[in-house]
Structure 1
Amino acid sequence: MAMKRRTMAIVYSILIAALAVASASPALAANATPTYSNPLKPERGADPWVYKHTDGYYYYMTTAGGVSIWKSKTLSGLTSGEKTEVWTLPSAGPNSREMWAPELHYLEGKWYIYYTATDRRPNGTGDPLKRRTFVLENDSPDPTKGTWIDRGQVFDPDNDYWAIDGTVLEHNGELYFAWSGKPYDYAGGEQRIYIATLSDPVTMSSNRVELSRPTYDWETGGTPINEAPQFLKRDGNIFLVFSASHCSSDEYKLGFLSAPEDADLLNPEAWTKHPTPLFQQSPENGAYGTGHNSFTTSPDGTENYMVYHANPESGQGCGQFRQTRLQKVEWNPDGTPNAGVPTADSVDLPLPSGEPVKWFLEAEAAAVSNGAEVSKTALHYTGTGYAVANGAGETIEWTVELDKHRNYILDFRYSNLASTTEQLELRVDGELVLGGLALPQTATRLWADYKLASREVRLKKGVHTISVTATSGTPIYIDSLTIYQIPPSELGDDH
């Protein structure tokens, strides 16, 4: 009997140990599928702007990120790319408080960021009557590098009144600037859409012209507002899409104007307002206050997409709960845009046409060992957190199943506050990868910047483990791992 009890105890101990090992193992990442889901940024994603450049990258900005630029290889991965804080508001002056709605444009061989800001009141808060549109300039080929210069206010000297949400249209050799403004400076109240020409990206060359004011019931929820103008061109028409009603209301939505591309765009009579909204809330799908969008195209240029913000619950208003979301735009038989209905969270949607096959793995879902830990005290991470390796030997490991024998790019999204380049050991299936993973400094302030450290590896079809291990006592913050499959056309025969 004693022997039986000892045998049972040993078996029980082995079982408990096996369960403990199993619970410490990383979850298996399923085969990659050609889908994405919303939200792209689950919070602090207001006023999203995306710009697709000729260098093959998408550049993303949002109000809640300060003056920061996200740089991504894919449209569906906007918020998992590198994040660089490129400029900070001055401590005093007309643009020293409350930066809103930054937009990045490449014009006449330089980069420009248009944004809204205001002056500081004696009590330190922003002055609501002094909101204006401003612009920064950078001549670097890469907007995340170089020096951003403050080029001041963009305005009509004869009508220098309250102005927000500036955007630019290049058309027939002309530059047009559109924004949301008021007839004169006053707190609250009606907002209208104005347009003017620019003689260069920083100088207005005509008086403003009013194109739209709130007239329909759907434009007056909470406060009568037309704001956040965005241009979209297709098949001989120019569309000016705007946000209507107040962002604090669930009724925040999109409407649009249209004009023939050969019309005089400064003539209000050339524009026609569509009588019904283009896009609005969907309580059934958990999307409220849907608005403040921007437009772009898929990587191969065959599809139109809209990036917008929405709240996941009713009554959340204009705060940090606004999420960045992505939605394909279709076209009606009459040539007008059709944005459809906001999709529900976590619904699988087809990847934008031309995006590479990829696996996206959160660090907080990986196996951490030897002292590494999961946290979520910082900002602008993806998913629900990130992993931290605080000392030598601490390890973060993912397990993934790959569907083809090919070369793959491993992109690790990280933050390193040290002044030196930190070196991590990189292992694939337990074997050291020669050269490891080098992590240059990102910023001196936690999570001001995120960078990507990349390695290319050859992997067979099947299940693999990928791990990084710290080699020093410098804390390293790992947010995610993205695995890109290199197309066979770049490698030769498939295996």
Structure 2
Amino acid sequence: MVQYTSPLIIQRADPYIYKHTDGYYYFTASVPAYNLIEIRRAKTLEGLAHAAPRTIWRKHDQGPMSQLIWAPELHYIDHKWFIYFAAAETTALDQNGMFQHRMFCIECDAADPMASEENWQEKGQVKTPIDSFSLDATVFEANDKLYYVWAQKDPQIKGNSNLYIAEMRNPWTLKTAPVLISKPEYDWETIGFWVNEGPAIIHRNGRYFLTYSASATDEHYAMGMLTIADDVDLLNASNWHKSKEPVFKSDLVTHQYGPGHNSFTVAEDGQTDLMVYHCRNYTDIKGDPLYDPNRHTKVQAFTWHEDGTPNFGKPEPYNYK
């Protein structure tokens, strides 16, 4: 099976890789300073490690998009580029001890999303009915409809964040009411914090598989999965089925800790499915794990079980020299 340098890109958390029709892989992720959004590209995945990043958006000096720029994702929708990300007005915690992020969208209608910062236009906040902590948005198309999946705090539900889905009117506006599809409930989802976040979608074998990350961002961080048939109503919560156990977690043998906030892409052969994720190789974190910069981007091939579900295996050990 194809293997890549591990880690592929150092100090890039929440990694997202998109393979475009131009043959390039485009990469974006949270930068350690949480102060800007950058894109890099290369014809090969290994090439991303050495590709020069281009800053395409910078945080504001003040206001809702001025602090803690998290988890950008690059999508190509109707011949335009979009980046979804989370930002806050302050680094202070609210009365519930949580950050104060909201979700935002920027758009680029130029063919080359890396050409200039001026090509990117702010579309504003992606608003939901509850004005609360929200982050980690992703989108996917199904049956000619665009769907939005994200993590958000509901003050009426215990924990930090749940997962929701809605149909979109356009790439920055919801069309339907949010539907709750997962909340932290199992022991492995509630270590340190009650968290469901970082959703990612892959469509294979007549189903949509939605992976997500749970618990605190230290070695307890792990990935879970929801599954739904692709011929049923995606906005009916009862159609989503949640795995009771994590599908990807820390491996003490290989010293890979807290794997998560993943995305999916495909290898250069156009066939091999790849998971992109971040993790650390140590557990002795000084201070808040969120501000430890050594969550590195890894790219790992995975296979499929006979029943058509993904087999992610275990985090591969570091192999760089």
If the length of structure 2 is used for normalisation, what is the TM-score? 0.91
What's the counterpart of residue 120 of structure 2? 148
What's the counterpart of residue 255 of structure 2? 286
Deviations 1:388-417 (A, max 9, x none): xxxxxxxxxxxxxxxxxxxxxxxxxxxxxx
- CA deviation after TM superposition for structure 1 residue 107, in Å: 0.5
**Do the aligned partners of 1:98 and 1:126 also contact (CA within 8 Å) in 2?**
no
What's the counterpart of residue 324 of structure 1? 297
Alignment partners' CA distance in 2, 1:234 and 1:333: 13
Highest RCO, 1 vs 2 (Cα 8 Å, sep ≥ 6) = 2
Q: Counterpart of 1:76 in 2: which secondary structure?
A: helix
Computing the radius of gyration from Cα coordinates, the structure with the larger value is 1
Match of 2:6 among 38, 42, 56: 38
**Within 5 Å, which residues of 2 pair with 1:196-275?**
196-247=166-217, 249-275=218-244
What's the counterpart of residue 27 of structure 2? 60
Does residue 180 in structure 1 map to residue 151 in structure 2? yes
**Do the aligned partners of 2:3 and 2:300 also contact (CA within 8 Å) in 1?**
no
**Do the aligned partners of 1:70 and 1:79 also contact (CA within 8 Å) in 2?**
no
**Do the aligned partners of 1:180 and 1:192 also contact (CA within 8 Å) in 2?**
yes
**Do the aligned partners of 1:119 and 1:126 also contact (CA within 8 Å) in 2?**
no
Deviations 1:270-319 (A, max 9, x none): 00001111100011111101111110001232110011000110133332
Q: Counterpart of 2:188 in 1: which secondary structure?
A: helix
More helix by share: 1
- CA deviation after TM superposition for structure 1 residue 77, in Å: 2.7
What's the counterpart of residue 136 of structure 2? 165
Seq. identity, %:
39
Shifted more, 128-137 versus 236-245: the winner is 128-137
Q: Which runs of 5+ in 2 are unaligned?
A: none
Q: Counterpart of 1:71 in 2: which secondary structure?
A: strand
- CA deviation after TM superposition for structure 1 residue 206, in Å: 1.1
Q: Which runs of 5+ in 1 are unaligned?
A: 1-33, 348-382, 384-495
Does residue 90 in structure 1 map to residue 60 in structure 2? yes
- CA deviation after TM superposition for structure 1 residue 82, in Å: 2.8
What's the counterpart of residue 69 of structure 2? 99
Cα RMSD of the aligned pairs, angstroms, is 1.9
Alignment partners' CA distance in 2, 1:243 and 1:149: 30
Q: Counterpart of 2:203 in 1: which secondary structure?
A: strand
Alignment partners' CA distance in 2, 1:63 and 1:129: 16
Q: Counterpart of 1:218 in 2: which secondary structure?
A: helix
- CA deviation after TM superposition for structure 1 residue 35, in Å: 5.5
Alignment partners' CA distance in 2, 1:242 and 1:211: 11
Equivalent position amino acid for 1:41 in 2:
I
Does residue 307 in structure 1 map to residue 276 in structure 2? yes
**Within 5 Å, which residues of 2 pair with 1:385-396?**
none
Q: Counterpart of 1:87 in 2: which secondary structure?
A: strand
Alignment partners' CA distance in 2, 1:246 and 1:177: 24
Deviations 1:78-122 (A, max 9, x none): 22123101111111111111100000000011000000001137x
If the length of structure 1 is used for normalisation, what is the TM-score? 0.60
Distance 1:36 1:246, change over 3 A: same
Match of 1:50 among 10, 17, 32: 17
**Do the aligned partners of 2:207 and 2:227 also contact (CA within 8 Å) in 1?**
yes
Equivalent position amino acid for 1:176 in 2:
Y
**Do the aligned partners of 2:86 and 2:136 also contact (CA within 8 Å) in 1?**
yes
Deviations 1:197-244 (A, max 9, x none): 111111111111110011111111111111000001001100110001
**Do the aligned partners of 1:40 and 1:77 also contact (CA within 8 Å) in 2?**
no
Alignment partners' CA distance in 2, 1:81 and 1:171: 32
